[in-house]
């Protein structure tokens, strides 16, 4: 009986270890998407699909970051001037 319990326990541990390994690990490294928009380069930083920062690199001028103000969608502020309001209006929707 003791041997049977040991074998069952070993089998359960082996199954649970394979289930844990099958899950995707959470990545701490951000995914960076780089795109050109007019005369500026935009780098979008995402972790697990969540956009948390945007780096804007204009052809003339200093690069700057836009970061989430409160964690909601589309509400960004400049990291070097957090009091500056960034408009995020929806003009048309259908």
All residues at 6 or more sequence positions from 27 whose CB lies less than 8 Å from its CB, including other chains: 47, 48
**pLDDT classification of 68: cutoffs 50, 70, 90:** confident
The residue among 69 and 64 whose pLDDT is bigger is: 64
Q: What is the pLDDT of residues 16-33, one digit of tens each?
A: 554 444 455 566 788 999
Strands (E), 1-94: 31-37, 40-47, 50-58, 64-68, 76-78
Six-digit token string for 2: 């003791």
Sign of the torsion angle spanned by Cα atoms 59, 61, 65, 69: negative
Quick one: what percent of the chain has pLDDT higher than 70?
A: 59
pTM here?
0.56
């Amino acid at each position: 009986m003791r041997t049977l319990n040991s074998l069952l326990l070993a089998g359960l541990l082996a199954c649970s270890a394979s289930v844990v390994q099958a899950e995707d690990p959470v990545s701490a490294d951000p995914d960076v998407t780089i795109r050109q928009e007019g005369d500026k380069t935009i780098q979008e930083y995402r972790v697990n699909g969540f956009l948390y920062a945007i780096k804007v690199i204009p052809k003339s001028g200093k690069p700057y970051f836009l970061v989430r103000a409160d964690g909601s969608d589309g509400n960004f502020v400049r990291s070097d001037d957090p009091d500056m309001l960034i408009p995020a209006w929806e003009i048309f929707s259908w």
